[in-house]
Structure 1
Amino acid sequence: MTWLGVDLGDARVGLAMSDPELSLAHPEGNIEAMGDSFRALDPVVDFIADHDIERVVVGLPLLLSGEAGKSAKKARRWAANLEKRLANAHDDPEYGLDQIPEVVLVDERLTTVSAHHQLSQAKVGSRSHRPVVDQQSAVLILQSALDRDQRQREE
């Protein structure tokens, strides 16, 4: 049982995956979006089918005020489209999708800033940030969901 973290971007969609114990998130790479994150939907469905994902955690880029702006509305539409495509993939024997993963949105405010900071702390040059910042943001999004889930299980 694993979870997938997704950081939406117009250039790249970053992916992160949990360990089977649902304790740690690690980067899984990027999907090139070529200006539109919706182009990454089919490759994400393929990834999910290949990795037996139970839950997909999509970053919700709320405004600092906590309100949903244009980007958050787009993330909600993307997640809804992902749910539809997963349902279709479940019905298609070619995918071999045994279960339809739950798709959840989580607040991702400041994850990109944190990801840049972590990369700088790791001595990754600022020119090298761009290709990895999306997957590092996906790690932060997923790790926050894993930590929240762990706390709820302990209560």
Structure 2
Amino acid sequence: MPGIWLGLDLGNARVGVAASNPERSFAYPEGNIRVYGDYFQVFDDVLDLIEDKAEEGTPVTAIAIGLPLQMDGSAGSSAKKAQRWAKSLRRRLESEMEDQDSHIGVMPDIIFIDERLTTVDAHRRLFDANVSSKQHRAVVDQQSAVEILQTALDRARDNTEEF
């Protein structure tokens, strides 16, 4: 189905957002959503973004969410919180789809991507791009979202995982 994918890096200060191009070959930073302590407060912002994309003619067909697993691969409290957030997002999307005035278009798939070390990789890429460490805080979350989304896009293209 034609459309774009979103990538989300959930955080307690900001949620980093990335989007794919319509061909779903690369991810680019879309910005940050300010959180104020708990990313459960950003559902409306995420829904608005999905609706805006659909109104622009590029419906969101999948959302890749970073899953912060422990270094041993187990799901700790942060990963479980991200899973609960995704479940709540799914419910909000389903409710929105039932609304006659909804502009979401399609129900996006939700994909989890292991995000271990994505922040480290994002900082490294920012240093490589000569972005000063002082500027990292403003862009590292969206760069992490780009890494999460690009991983999902690459896996889908390479058919290494089913979504």
Same fold (TM over 0.5): yes
RMSD value, Cα:
1.0
Aligned partner of 1:91 in structure 2 is 98
Aligned partner of 2:50 in structure 1 is 48
**How much has 1:106 moved relative to structure 2?**
1.1
Unaligned runs of 5+ residues in structure 2 are: 54-58
TM-score normalized with structure 2 length? 0.91
d(CA) in 1 for partners of 2:95, 2:115? 28
Aligned partner of 1:31 in structure 2 is 33
Deviations 1:15-73 (A, max 9, x none): 00001111000000000000101111110011011111000110000011000011100
d(CA) in 2 for partners of 1:95, 1:31? 22
Match of 1:112 among 100, 108, 119: 119
Unaligned runs of 5+ residues in structure 1 are: none
d(CA) in 2 for partners of 1:132, 1:62? 22
Deviations 1:47-102 (A, max 9, x none): 01111100011000001100001110010001001101111111123331221111
Q: Counterpart of 2:61 in 1: which secondary structure? A: strand
Deviations 1:83-135 (A, max 9, x none): 01111111123331221111111111100000011011111111110010000
Match of 2:8 among 3, 6, 19: 6
d(CA) in 2 for partners of 1:124, 1:132? 10
Aligned partner of 2:56 in structure 1 is none
After TM superposition, the structure 1 stretch with the greater mean CA deviation from structure 2, 125-134 or 85-94, is 85-94
Number of residue pairs matched by the alignment: 153
d(CA) in 2 for partners of 1:149, 1:83? 21
Q: Percent same amino acid among aligned pairs?
A: 52
Match of 2:71 among 42, 64, 74: 64
After TM superposition, the structure 1 stretch with the greater mean CA deviation from structure 2, 77-86 or 96-105, is 96-105
d(CA) in 1 for partners of 2:22, 2:105? 17
TM-score normalized with structure 1 length? 0.96
After TM superposition, the structure 1 stretch with the greater mean CA deviation from structure 2, 40-49 or 95-104, is 95-104
d(CA) in 1 for partners of 2:103, 2:153? 26
**Is the counterpart of residue 101 in structure 1 residue 108 in structure 2?**
yes
d(CA) in 2 for partners of 1:95, 1:125? 42
